[in-house]
Amino acid sequence: MNGKFELAERLLKLPPYLFFEIDRLKKEAIARGKDIIDLGVGDPDIPTPSVIVEELKKAVDRPANHRYPSTVGMIEFREAACDWFKNRFGVSIDPVKEAVALIGSKEGIANISMAFVDPGDYVLIPDPAYPVYKNGTIFAGGNPYIMPLLKENQFLPDLDAIPEPIAVKSKMMFLNYPNNPTSATATKEYFKKAVDFAHKYNIIVCHDAAYTEVSFDGYQAPSFLEVDGAKDISIEFHSLSKTFCMTGWRIGFALGNEKIVGGLTKIKSNIDSGAFQAVQESGIVAMAKALPVAKNIYKVFERRRNIFVKGLNDCGIECDLPKSTFYIWFKVPPKYDSASFTKLMLEEAGIVITPGNGFGEYGEGYVRAALTVPEERLNEAVSRIKQVI
Ligand SMILES: *Cc1c(COP(=O)(O)O)cnc(C)c1O
């Protein structure tokens, strides 16, 4: 029997899913036996460092880990996160009151709006961006207010351009540096401006810090929490997914203001029962021991970046070497838009990339390539692009 079940309005309010056509064309091409180079999804091809995998094998055998975890995460996990954070950024966080484990940072980013946004509240959302900021806001009944990320502003929101009446009605703001999809970075001076803005208008800043470790040429991304006064108004989301190539494990954490972390925890305690403890124990080992191995992985991404950007430049496509993330964000050649160039790449070159407008209207005219294939495949991709353009 087919029931007539209408989707809830909040689902109907989501922006259209623009990757549908590309997904379809990709599946068709694969079915035809075409050799596809997939630079579409931001999911590293490199396996998780073995020291972490070995820990999971042992942790799975411990019966204590077979029971319900706690929503906030094991104290040992939160301590390991705070220790890592203190070493890396020089900022002390209380693991009891100011830290919560997450089932991947996406989970926390999606849930934070439920804790603080009421219907009618404005939430300041960058565009282009990771879609969860806007969609989580919509689920909570909030009004997304778009902050365009423009090249002439180094892909940073122009806070002075936000109208006063909107700022006054805004409850939260999302930021994400190093940035997906633009691979832009932010300075501490910029973060300071955001802290001042947030203090002035009583706004919670949610900083998505998924890519702080994936950096090149010696660059070290700052944490939002390094800025004086940041902890009064912000929460920062960290993920082990990109740092340790652990996307499938679903583990991350959030740090920051006690009340903000507490609000998120309250929502979570009514939705989930925490991350599998064996995964948390593996995460502890990752943060304590696996960074040297992970740094070698970033070298791999750095070499891939050099190959791909040089290839684009050889074709006359302007693109600087990003300092961070494994994404190359570039403007499509003049006669194309995001969709038509993505289609050209797929149909003529057998390369999957992501159309920039899939990340929001201000991504139009751009595309994103994820460096998630080995060097020889990337060389092949570059030579195919050269033939097509
Ligand atoms: C990958 C990614 C995340 C989150 O990943 P999790 O696997 O859920 O921890 C968050 N934000 C951005 C911008 C990302 O690209």
What are the residue ranges spanned by the domains of the chain?
9-47+292-388, 50-290
Q: Is the CB of 59 under 6 A from ligand 1?
A: no
Residue of 176, 208, 249 with the most ligand 1 atoms within 8 Å of its CB, for mutation: 208
Model confidence at 1, in pLDDT bands (50, 70, 90)? low
Tell me how crowded residue 386 is: count the other CB atoms within 10 A of its CB: 13
**Those residues with Cβ within 8 angstroms of residue 57's Cβ, 6 or more apart along the chain or in another chain:** none
Sign of the alpha-carbon torsion through 163, 167, 172, 175: positive
Over residues 31-78, the pLDDT tens digits come to: 988 999 999 988 999 999 999 999 999 999 999 999 999 999 999 999
> What average pLDDT does the structure give for the chain?
96
Q: What is the pLDDT of residue 158?
A: 98
Assessment of whether the complete model's pTM goes beyond 0.75: yes
50-290 domain in CATH 3.20.20.70?
no
Contact (Cβ atoms closer than 8 angstroms) between residue 282 and residue 249: yes
Q: Which pair of structure tokens corresponds to residue 53? A: 């995998």
CA of 239 to the centre of ligand 1 (A): 7
* Statement: residue 17 has pLDDT above 90: no
Model confidence at 335, in pLDDT bands (50, 70, 90)? very high
CATH number of 9-47+292-388: 3.90.1150.10
Q: Is the CB of 210 under 6 A from ligand 1?
A: yes
Q: Report how far residue 102's alpha carbon sits from residue 252's, in angstroms, rounded to the nearest whole number.
A: 5
